[in-house]
Amino acid sequence: MSNFIENQNWRYATKKFDATKKISAADLELLKKAIQLSSSSYGLQLYKVFIVENPAIREQLKPVSWNQAQIVDASHLFVFANIVDVQDNHIDAYVENVAKTRGVAIETLKGYSDFMKSKIVTLPLEEKAVWTSKQTYLALGNLINASAELKIDVTPMEGFDAAKYNEILGLTQLGLNAALVAPVGYRHEEDSTQHSPKVRKPIEELFEII
């Protein structure tokens, strides 16, 4: 646990990445695995993660990301896109995966499947989209924590035009919406922010035991 706290003190939202440093293929696979293992409501993982390496596409995304340099300078750009309109087929696919993975008859999961459909599919479209977008934050948390352990930097971002991302990446026709962006790579030695003390609320102010 001490290593976890040490890693959290080490990490920060990197303002300037070293564009010459790239994440190794092995470390990238570890980050993908960490995201895959993230918790999500019902285990549904109602999102898709796009890892943008193409420099030309990232140049297109920069101006619709408030011209933040991290978009093009980081080793990789992770875009978390939530499923906007959850339907029966999304839950059916999950249930099929459960049956296959655990070696159980799919018929035994019908009650659980029907329950999820009654709670999710029946929601108004806007509520479904908000709920699935929240799921991406859980996955982002795993990316941040795994990256810190590997001494890889991450900058979580909400400062971007989601509609433009959807257009550039072709997300709308896939039923997806860009919810979060996370440039991932290595801090530049010139990024003075890395030397600033971490500012957080005091423990006694943040927590209250009832």
pLDDT of residue 208: 97
Return d(Cα 51, Cα 189) in angstroms, integer.
25
- Give the domain 9-84+135-187 fold: NADH Oxidase (3.40.109)
Asked whether residue 179 carries a pLDDT value surpassing 90, the answer given is yes
Residue-wise burial string across 138-163, b where 16 or more C-beta atoms lie within 10 A, e elsewhere: bbbebbbbbbbbeebbbbbbeebebe
Asked whether residue 1 carries a pLDDT value surpassing 90, the answer given is no
**Sequence ranges of the domains in the chain:** 9-84+135-187, 87-122
pLDDT of residue 136: 98
pLDDT tens digits, 37-62: 999 999 999 999 999 999 999 999 99
Return d(Cα 136, Cα 208) in angstroms, integer.
28
pLDDT of residue 85: 98
Q: Binning pLDDT at 50, 70 and 90, where does residue 29 land?
A: very high
pLDDT tens digits, 74-108: 999 999 999 999 999 999 999 999 999 999 999 99
pLDDT of residue 196: 96
Q: Report the DSSP beta bridge partners of residue 26.
A: none
Asked whether residue 2 carries a pLDDT value surpassing 90, the answer given is no
pLDDT of residue 89: 98
Nearest to 157 by CA among 34, 83, 71, 38: 71
Asked if residue 31 lies in contact with residue 147, where contact means CB atoms within 8 angstroms, the answer is: yes
Q: Mean of the per-residue pLDDT values for the chain?
A: 98
